[in-house]
């Protein structure tokens, strides 16, 4: 990979594309730090999003969601809009015909996607505004919005400003991604996701350090616990030497390396269907007669099933943002959003339901993405026109059915691999959360609850790197090709 980047840097055109991509990513990262007026999100959340779907949204946005910055919505609205358009392209014949009209049809589909992105951004921004309006940090007493945005006579104006900033930020993110597609290297949205996930590395390292400190020195709960009618703080003694955290860290490093190797192995694996071309005479020359193959990638869908599945999983939580909370007297549960409170808990990373649903959605979207991107009947027709055939299979429909059958098996293996990689960390997180009151070591592990999404993050990061390197290699090959006059 590093050799490919070094060789690409020597080519002026590719060097310009790489620099442009880095510049766009830098602009995006600056946008994640731009504050939105009247918002105190960083004070209100202050780690409360960990272990929930809000924590995953925060990871996808590179920390912008928790900080309430300009790009708080991140790429989620654009991804959701892309899913909606692809589903509609199958359900609505007019959109399906439009998608097959070449470059003009692609431009029209992209325009529709942009409009849907704006609509989803408006809805999500309103929900995020209402969430901030209802939140309050019990330790500091700070509300999610300033008093001017809630209690003053200009509260309506403040609401419009906040929502407009979030929507504008989402549109800018979409525009930045498209600029990378046009003038940079790789898929724009994937590159932004890559930058967001990588940017969470340093905060995760700090949480590992906190994990060691908690196990060594002990822990005193900030909240109060009701015991026998009295209210008293819960104190847990430390172990002195953080043996549990050290073992846990070693296992995490081994697991991450194993997952990276497995993702690379799956990405490079393919099933090759042999093809034999018949000999034919055109004029005085003979063509055909050679053997070839149809390569079917095991992970043909790449990271898209994971991105699609996670976009769907954020929908219930987004809807729950619109529900005004009812405050209770229980210190462990300051407010509730019935009936959506139980739904939000079900979609928490610490629930079995969330893990099972993630597994099922990745499988489903893998088949869906392959179905819309690869047509066995079209491949069979092209083979028949060029005089090619699969040995032992009749040309035409029989060949298409054979390719479809093989593709289904290959897709299942790839989808199952992606699902297992993403779900295993979630299951480990569920087990740790259930054991949190058993030992101080398990309690310290909750400080790195972001590891619940490490499977998803690794697949996205490694997948984006592999796809980008392949694109660079293809462009280098095209520029170094010397033709028959070379």
What does the DSSP assignment read for 173-202? HHHHHHHHHHHSSS-HHHHHHHHHHHHTHH
Query: Number of C-alpha atoms within 13 angstroms, CB side, residue 192?
Result: 32
**Peptide linkage before 470 cis (omega within 30 of 0):** no
Residue pair 46/137 in contact by the 8 Å Cβ criterion: yes
Asked whether residue 329 carries a pLDDT value surpassing 60, the answer given is no
Nearest to 312 by CA among 140, 141, 120: 120
Helix (H) or strand (E) holding 111: helix 102-134
Pairing state of beta strands 291-297 and 326-327?
unpaired
Measure the CA–CA gap between 355 and 76, rounded to whole angstroms: 20
**Is a pLDDT exceeding 80 seen at residue 484?**
no
Grouping H, G, I as helix, E, B as strand and the rest as coil, residue 280 is strand
- Residue 170's pLDDT is 92
DSSP 208-268: HHHHHHHHHHEEEEEEEEEETTEEEEEEEE--SS-HHHHHHHHHHHHHHHHHHHHHHHHHH
Please give the pLDDT value at position 485.
Answer: 45
Q: Is residue 43 domain-shared with residue 153, that is, in the same domain?
A: yes
Cα separation of 181 and 208, whole Å?
36
Residue 353 C-alpha from the chain's centroid: 19
Are residue 68 and residue 172 in the same domain, yes or no? yes
Contact criterion met (CB below 8 Å) for 463 and 298: no
Q: Which of 40, 85, 100, 42 is nearest to 66 (CA)?
A: 42
* 441 pLDDT more than 60: no
Residue-wise pLDDT for 258-305, tens only, equals 988 888 888 888 888 888 877 666 666 665 567 778 888 888 887 778
Do residues 343 and 474 share a domain? yes
What SS3 state is found at 109?
helix
**Which tens digits make up the pLDDT trace of 447-467?**
666 777 788 888 888 888 888
Do 336 and 293 lie in one domain? The reply is yes
Give the range of the structural domain holding residue 71, as residue numbers without chain letter: 1-199
Separation between Cα atoms, residue 218 and residue 232, nearest integer Å: 17
Domain of 400, CATH number, reads 1.10.3370.10
Q: At which of 168, 199, 230 does a domain end? A: 199
Q: What is the pLDDT of residues 200-245, one digit of tens each?
A: 888 888 878 877 777 777 665 554 444 454 555 556 666 677 777 7
For 84-138, write each residue's pLDDT tens digit: 888 788 778 888 788 777 778 888 888 999 999 999 999 989 988 887 887 766 5
User: Do residue 327 and residue 443 come from a single domain?
Assistant: yes
DSSP annotation of 285 reads E
Write down the pLDDT at residue 325. 57
Instruction: Say how far residue 83 (Cα) sits from the centre of its chain.
Output: 13
CA distance linking residue 59 with residue 75, whole number of Å: 11
- Verify that 376 and 416 share a domain, yes or no: yes
Which of 184, 199, 214 represents a domain boundary (last residue)? Answer: 199
Q: Which domain-ending residue is among 199, 217, 232?
A: 199
110 shares a domain with 23: yes
Q: What is the pLDDT of residues 387-435, one digit of tens each?
A: 788 888 888 888 889 888 988 899 899 889 888 888 888 888 777 766 6
33-91: pLDDT as tens digits: 888 988 887 665 655 555 456 666 777 787 788 888 899 888 888 888 888 888 788 77
Asked whether residue 19 falls in the same domain as residue 132, the answer is yes
Question: Within this chain, do residues 193 and 233 fall inside the same structural domain, yes or no?
Answer: no
Helix, coil or strand: residue 70: coil
Assess contact for 215 and 440: CB atoms under 8 A: yes
Cβ atoms within 10 Å of 330's Cβ, excluding its own: 11
Domain identity same for 109 and 135: yes
Total domains in the chain come to 2
* Residues 49, 79 contacting (CB under 8 angstroms): no
Q: Residue 213: CA atoms inside 13 Å, Cβ hemisphere, count?
A: 9
User: What end-to-end distance do the CA atoms of the chain give, in Å?
Assistant: 28
Q: Are residues 211 and 325 in the same domain?
A: yes
Contact indicator for 180, 191 with CB cutoff of 8 Å: yes
Q: Are 57 and 74 within 8 A, CB to CB?
A: yes
CA distances, 430 to each of 9, 112, 351, 445 (Å): 45, 40, 6, 11
The verdict on 131 and 223 lying in the same domain is: no
């Amino acid at each position: 990979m590093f050799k490919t980047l070094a060789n690409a840097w020597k080519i002026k055109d590719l060097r310009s594309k790489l620099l442009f991509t880095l510049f766009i990513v830098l602009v995006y990262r600056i946008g994640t730090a731009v504050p939105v007026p009247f918002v105190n999100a960083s004070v209100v959340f202050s780690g409360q999003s960990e272990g929930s779907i809000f924590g995953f949204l925060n990871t996808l946005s590179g920390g912008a969601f928790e900080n309430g910055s300009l790009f708080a919505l991140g790429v989620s609205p654009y991804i959701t809009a892309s899913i909606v358009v692809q589903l509609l392209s199958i359900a609505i014949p007019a959109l399906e015909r439009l998608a097959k009209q070449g470059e003009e049809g692609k431009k029209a589909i992209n325009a529709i996607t942009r409009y849907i992105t704006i609509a989803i951004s408006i809805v999500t921004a309103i929900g995020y505004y209402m969430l901030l309006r209802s939140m309050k940090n019990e330790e500091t007493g700070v509300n999610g919005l300033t008093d001017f945005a809630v209690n003053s006579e200009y509260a309506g104006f403040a609401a419009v400003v906040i929502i407009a900033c979030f929507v504008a930020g989402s549109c800018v993110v979409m525009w930045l991604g498209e600029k990378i597609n046009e003038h940079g290297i790789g898929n724009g949205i994937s590159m932004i996701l890559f930058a967001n996930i990588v940017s969470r590395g340093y905060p995760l390292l700090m949480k590992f350090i906190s994990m060691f400190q908690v196990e060594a020195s002990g822990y005193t709960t900030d909240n109060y616990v009701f015991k026998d009618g009295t209210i008293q703080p819960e104190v847990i003694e430390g172990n002195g030497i953080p043996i549990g955290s050290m073992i846990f860290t070693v296992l995490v490093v081994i697991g991450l390396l194993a997952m990276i190797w497995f993702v690379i192995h799956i990405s490079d694996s393919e099933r090759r269907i042999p093809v034999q071309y018949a000999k034919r005479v055109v004029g005085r020359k003979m063509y055909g007669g050679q053997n070839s193959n149809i390569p079917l990638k095991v992970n043909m869908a790449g990271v898209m099933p994971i991105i699609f599945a996670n976009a769907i999983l954020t929908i219930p939580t987004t809807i729950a943002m619109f529900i005004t909370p009812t405050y209770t007297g229980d210190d462990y549960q300051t407010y509730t959003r019935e009936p959506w409170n139980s739904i939000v808990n079900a979609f928490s990373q610490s629930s079995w339901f969330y893990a099972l649903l993630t597994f099922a959605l990745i499988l489903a979207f893998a088949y869906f993405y392959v179905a819309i991107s690869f047509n066995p009947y079209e491949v069979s027709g092209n083979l028949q026109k060029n005089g090619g055939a699969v040995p032992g299979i009749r040309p035409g429909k029989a060949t298409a059915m054979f390719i479809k059958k093989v593709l289904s098996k290959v897709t299942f293996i790839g989808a199952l691999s992606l699902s297992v990689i993403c779900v295993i960390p979630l299951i480990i997180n569920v087990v740790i959360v259930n054991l949190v009151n058993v030992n101080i070591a398990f309690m310290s592990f909750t400080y790195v609850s972001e590891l619940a999404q490490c499977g998803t993050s690794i697949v996205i990061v490694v997948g984006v790197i592999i796809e980008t390197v392949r694109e660079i290699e293809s462009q280098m090959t095209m520029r170094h090709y010397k033709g028959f006059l070379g």
